[in-house]
Chain A
Amino acid sequence: SQQGEEDPQALSIQEGENATMNCSYKTSINNLQWYRQNSGRGLVHLILIRSNEREKHSGRLRVTLDTSKKSSSLLITASRAADTASYFCASDMVDYKLSFGAGTTVTVRA
């Protein structure tokens, strides 16, 4: 079963706008990760945030984590056409397993 759920399922924005997607998970975690998947390709790791961190930045990406609400958000600033992809949150479960959410499909219009 999936540990995380993303919201929204799909997002369409204009180039240059910001994109925000949310993730909720069910059980306590050690860390939460975000991945990107371009159409027909494998998943690529974007960023990892540990349970004792509240916010993390990487380039145009900003991730927040609220362990009290069991939720995380991914913000992509100044979006580009190349950001068009599906984005997944993934939370660790016991025994080194990683459980993925259903993903948010982001379309950036030129």
Chain B
Amino acid sequence: DAGVIQSPRHEVTEMGQEVTLRCKPISGHDYLFWYRQTMMRGLELLIYFNNNVPIDDSGMPEDRFSAKMPNASFSTLKIQPSEPRDSAVYFCASSPQGALGGELFFGEGSRLTVL
């Protein structure tokens, strides 16, 4: 398996623009997680899905952020409109059992810079 695939790897955009980050989880994994990593706040869980259904989005910072999982092999994280403070590395991770059952498999991340 190719692992968790994220795109784009790098995105530079201007404040106010819409940003869409994409993730393809490992086939057969029922759980998908979106994390954000910054120097100041470390790794923050934004939202996670189980069987394509959003279970907990309490970590989504505000209404400008939205995430979808239309099918088992694809998820998006959208920021509209983007702001400079959204600059971070966004990670997608998938897991066959969720955190209680075992490890998370991370993608390489999408580094977002909002100017």
Contacts and interface: CB of A to CB of B under 8 A. Distances in A.
Interface of A: 2, 30-31, 33, 35, 41-45, 48, 88, 90, 92-93, 95-103
Contacts, number: 56
B100 A100 contact: no
18 contacts: A35-B106, A42-B4, A42-B107, A42-B108, A45-B103, A45-B105, A48-B102, A88-B43, A90-B99, A92-B99, A96-B98, A96-B99, A97-B45, A97-B99, A98-B33, A98-B45, A98-B99, A102-B42
Nearest to A95: B56
Contacts of A35: 106
B45 A96 contact: no
| Range of interface residues on B (Cβ < 8 Å) | 20 to 34
For the complex of A and B, 5 pairs with smallest distance between CB atoms? A96-B98, A42-B106, A45-B103, A98-B99, A100-B43
B82 interface: no
B22 to A, nearest CB: 15
B25 interface: no
Classify the secondary structure of A's interface with B: strand
A95 B103 CA distance: 15
Given A88-B43, A96-B31, A96-B48, A44 B106 contact: yes
Contacts of B109: 41-42
B50 interface: yes
B104 A45 contact: yes
A98 B104 contact: yes
